[in-house]
Amino acid sequence: MTKNYAELIKNLRQRSNPESVLIAKMFSETLSGSKLYENSEVEYSDVSIYIRDSMRGVAPEFTMNSKVAANMVEAHLKKSHGSHVHFERQGSVMSNTHILKDNDVDLVQITNKSSKFDSDGLEKALSNPSNLKTDEIQNLKKHKANFKEYKGNQLLDLEALRDKSEKILKSVYKEVDDKKDNSIYVKVSNPERDIDVVTATYYKGVEYLKSNQKHKRGVRVYNKSTKSLGSPDFPFLSIERINVRDMVAGRRLKNMIRFLKNLKYDCPRINNEGAIRSFHINAICYNISIKKYENLHYIDLVCVLNEELQEILNNKEYRESIKSVDDSESIFFGNYSDKLKEIDLLQQEIDSILADLSNQKLLIG
C-alpha cells in the first residue's frame, strides 16, 4: 500500500528543522553540484522527495546550538574541575549522522589522574617487531619507558568526579537526572537541548600506543550503580572513520545512515528504543563496499541498502562478520533474534518504497 508521503515529508522536515532555519541554509551540504542529487530523468514526486529529505542532515544551525549547549555545560564543570578533567564529545551529532531524535550530545568528562593501559598488548607487539614500522616501535618503547603506575584508587576518583559533577549541575540547571548508571542527564533551556554527561577514563590500546593518534584513544565509562568501568569503547575512532569514508564516497555514507534512521523512526511497527540502534545502523552502512555506491544517485542508494539488508537476513555467515565501525565487536552476536526482526521490518519498508517508486515510473536503477 502506498504510504502517505506528503504527511511523512511534513513530519520529517519538522523534526529535521524544528527551529525553522532557512531551507537554503539547511541543505547547504548537498547543494554543491554533486551528482548525488543531479539526474534530469528523475521525476520528483512525493516518494522521491521523502527519500531525498530522509538522507539530508539536520539543519546546521540547529546542530550548532546542540554543540553550544554542550559547551555551556562543559564550562560549568571545567570551572570546578580545573585541569584534573579533560572533555570530549561523542555520538552521532559529532559525525553529522544524527536525526532530531538522537540530536543530544554526549559530553564525556575524562579524569586526567589515570588511564587504562594495555601493557600486555604492548609487550606482545614489541615481541614481534618485524610486524611494526620503525616509528611504531619507537612509540611503543617510549610509552613503556614513560609508564608510571597510578598509586591512587581510580574507581574512588571516578565516583568522586561523578558525585561532584551531579552537585555542580543541580546547582545550575533545573532539570538534572542523576539516576542513570552511565551518565547524568541535563536539560539546557537556552538553547533548549538535552546533554548527557558521561564520566570515564581513557583507555590506551595498542593502536593508539603505536600511532599516538588521539582519535585512536578509547574510553571506559564509569557505572554509578556497580561502581565499575565498562569495556573499552572507541567513539572517536568511529567518528573519524565515518567522516573519512563519507568523504571518499562522495558524501553518500552519511546519507544512507540518516535514511535508515529516519525510516526506522517513521515505521510504526518498530519501537524506537528497540534492538537496532544508531550504533548498529552505522555499522551496517559502514560495512557496505564503497564500490557499490560511490557514484550513485541518491535513489539508487535505496537499492543498495535493500540488497544489504537482504544479505544480512539470508546469510548467517555474512551478518556475523559485520563489525562495529571501530572494529571492536560483532554487531550480531549471542541471541540477536530481536535485531533480525527489526532488520526484516526495515527491509519490508524499503520494499514498499521501491514498489512505490516503480509504480510512479521513477528511475531506480
d(CA 138, CA 144): 10
Q: Which three cell numbers stand for residue 176?
A: 538534572
Share the mean pLDDT of the chain. 90
Q: Which three cell numbers stand for residue 182?
A: 552511565
Phi, psi of 354 (to 5 degrees): -65, -35
Read off the pLDDT of residues 270-323 as tens digits, 9 standing for 90 and up: 877 789 999 999 999 999 999 999 999 999 999 999 999 999 999 999 999 999
Domain parsing of the chain, residue ranges:
5-60+249-359, 64-238
Residue from 62, 44, 63 nearest 53 by CA: 44
Least confident of 111-115, 133-137, 152-156, 314-318: 111-115
Read off the pLDDT of residues 54-85 as tens digits, 9 standing for 90 and up: 998 888 888 888 999 999 999 999 999 999 99
Read off the pLDDT of residues 242-278 as tens digits, 9 standing for 90 and up: 999 999 999 999 999 999 999 999 998 887 778 999 9
Query: Taking a C-beta distance cutoff of 8 angstroms, is the pair 3, 352 a contact?
Result: yes
H helical segments located in the chain: 5-16, 23-26, 46-55, 60-81, 119-126, 134-146, 154-172, 206-211, 235-248, 253-266, 278-287, 298-314, 316-319, 337-359
What pLDDT does 333 receive? 87
Tell me which CATH code domain 64-238 carries: 3.30.460
Name the band, by pLDDT with cuts 50, 70 and 90, for residue 21: low
Name the band, by pLDDT with cuts 50, 70 and 90, for residue 362: very low
d(CA 232, CA 202): 9
Query: Taking a C-beta distance cutoff of 8 angstroms, is the pair 221, 200 a contact?
Result: yes
Helix or strand holding residue 187 (H, E)? strand 183-189
Mean pLDDT, residues 40-56 taken together: 80
Amino acid at 169: L
Which 3 state secondary structure label does DSSP give 236? helix
Half-sphere exposure of 344 (CA within 13 A, CB side): 8
Rounded to whole angstroms, the maximal C-alpha distance in the chain is 70
Number of neighbouring beta carbons within 10 Å of residue 155: 13
